[in-house]
Amino acid sequence: MKKLSVLLLATVLLAAIPAVVQAANGGGVNSTTAPGTATSYSTITVTIPSVVAIDVETDVTFSLGSYVGSGSGCSNLFPPSISCSSATFAPTSASTTAGVSPSPTGNDIAVAAFDNKSGATVTVGAKVAAAWSPAGGPGFATTMIANKVSTANQTSTPTGFAAFTNLTTAGATFTGNGLTTLPFGWTRIDQSVELNITTLPAIYNAGTFTTTVSFYITST
C-alpha cells in the first residue's frame, strides 16, 4: 500500500508540470533510408531599410592661368578687362572616380540620388561652404560659384537650376525637381558649375584655394 501511494503522488506531480515545447528553428530533422537524399532548411530573413542617399563623384578645378592672354572680354579672360563689372570662368578640368558610367560630359559633376521609400516627397538642392582654405581666399567669396543642371545624364525632367545660379551658404532647393516617381534607385542628376564673379575684387590673391559645394537630398 505504501508503494502505491508513492506512485500515485508521482503521477499527480508530473501531471501538474506544464509541457515545455521547443520552438522550432530551421527545418528540423528530415531523414530517409539510404541510399537517398535527406533535406532540411534554414529560413533566411533580409530587412531593407528606407534610405535616402546622394552620391557625388567629381572634383572640379578652375585654373585661371589657362585664361591668361590677350583680348578684351569678361568671360574666360584673366584678368578680366577693365570694362567689366563682372566676369565668368568655366572649369578647366574635372576629376571623376574611375568606373562612373556614363562619364560626366565635359567638366560636369557626376551626381546621383537614391530614395527607396514609397510615398515620400523628395527635394534636392545645393549650397557652398562659407570659407576658402587657406583663409583669405582668392579675393572673392565662395558664393561666386554658380551651379546649373547639366545637359546630360538626367531623369526625364532635369533636376537642377535651369540657368547658372550663384550658390548660397544656406542652400537653395532646385526648381524643376525631376525625381517625382518613387521609389527610385541610383538616378543620375549631373550638375555644371562656373565662376560667376558678380563683384570683381581689387586684388586677386595668387595661390591655390579650395572650398566645397554640397548637393543634398531631403525625403519626407
Separation between Cα atoms, residue 15 and residue 18, nearest integer Å: 8
Stated pTM of the model: 0.84
Which pLDDT band, with edges at 50, 70 and 90, does 7 fall under?
A: very low
Does CATH place domain 52-56+105-219 in 1.10.1060? no
Residue 8 DSSP label: H
Say yes or no to pLDDT of 195 above 70: yes
- Strand-strand pairing, 52-56 and 172-173: unpaired
Say yes or no to pLDDT of 15 above 70: no
Q: For 91-134, how does the pLDDT look when each residue is reduced to its tens digit (9 = 90+)? A: 999 999 999 999 999 999 999 999 999 888 889 999 999 999 99
Separation between Cα atoms, residue 12 and residue 50, nearest integer Å: 55
Write down the mean pLDDT value for the chain.
89
Separation between Cα atoms, residue 216 and residue 171, nearest integer Å: 9
User: Contact at 8 Å (CB) between 191 and 108?
Assistant: yes
